[in-house]
Structure 1
Amino acid sequence: MNVLIIEDERPGAERLASMLQAIDPAIQVCGMIESVEEGVEWFKHNHPPALVFMDIELSDGNCFQLLKRINPACGIIFTTSYNEFALEAFNYNSIAYLTKPIRKDDLKKSIEKFKGFKELFEQKTSVYQQLLPDLYKRDRFLVKRGQKYLPVLMEEVSYFYSEGKIVFLVCWQGIKYVLDYALDDLEGMIDPRQFYRANRAFIIHVKSVISFENDVNSRLRVSVQPSIDREIYVSKEKAADFKEWMGR
């Protein structure tokens, strides 16, 4: 599980990171941010983490100035010395409001609370996907080749991938087209029974997977067809989910 720490005092951020690792070694701190402006830039260029630990007072303002600008799609645990902001904090995706000095037991309970919410949400999402398969209406994409526009049916798609800010659709024959959609947008247009978001750069069709194997740090390395000169990895956190999806 990736977490981001937004805290203007570096020793406090490092202490929190150490406590998180002691509570759950699977937690990965993907960044430590000290200011509102640094936070805005981070969210512009990075996929939202699962969870953010956020101090109220930052080096150039307070966290609510940041939240009003980015509205992150992730859970937030506030870690602060101030009690008076608790009500305002719950206007956002607040999981817990922990006052400093943070006690390990309180931190552990807040993480367990977040995991419980996440599990419940994923169960409900899975049920809705099974009961309402017709929600996934996209059955083709319109692509451009030269001056011509061509329809590409979903059954022709092997995988999607991003390279910088460009997203490509790759057909079974190896032909690829540029799409005017981000991968995040595509996830809402395709059938999750057929396609899987392997990582930030790839969405792959179940039939495109030739094989996969364990790699370092318990990641999975996936081989697809048609082949591509890039490594495709599924993270340790998603490995069990990926195997379950492949075995359906």
Structure 2
Amino acid sequence: MKVVIIEDEKLAAESLQEMILKHRPGAEMAPVLPSVEEAVEWFQLNTLPDLIFCDIHLSDGISFEIFRQITIKCPIIFTTAYNQYAIQAFQVNSVDYLLKPVKEAELVKAIRKYEDLQKNNFQDEMENLKHMLQTADSSFNPSRKTRFMVKSGQSIKSVSSEDAAYFLAEEGVVFLITFDNGRFIINYTLEQLEEQLDPAIFFRANRQLLVHIKAVNQVKPYFKGRLQLQIAPNGPEDQVVSSSKASSFKQWLDM
């Protein structure tokens, strides 16, 4: 069995490889593909594997973009930190959908499911599943992002979006700051976060800041119709809402 892992978190990829080889020691592991661009290039130059493990959010975008550019007919097991893409996943040859951190028992169950499908004509089974999903929910609309997988020392942990006080962009790097003052690098732009998070809870104050409504401690009038914010915990100083956004910001805070 030849396996490809598409994953931009090194520790998550290594953990996945270890579990796969533990339970299927004869598996041939291809190089880990950390981005949409590298995955597309690899599939253009190599024959398809028997099975793909694929994260959904990669360093340069959503992994579904790979399958829009390349025809993939082999089975896929998606691994992701949140569950709003379940139906899209099953529409691109997915045999299972595992939430991070991936549990060993769930991984083994998914591999067995893949092996059973192989015995029972995978392509026919997938076509039937896709038809059922399209019939059941042709108007599917993903829910908002509810958690993030972040690196903490040598491990990976889950942080709920409810615990994120604000997201701060500094010199091309985006940090997630929690209400208990945790600080974690995440592989998202503020633009991506703005689209994925609940707009009733998070507001894009300026080019550097996306803030949780409960993290806004104080709002003061500033020059030329702008607003100056005091953010907790230990929020960066001189965070300003532009005059063009001031009105919508006040409405968001119900001021």
TM-score after normalising by structure 2: 0.47
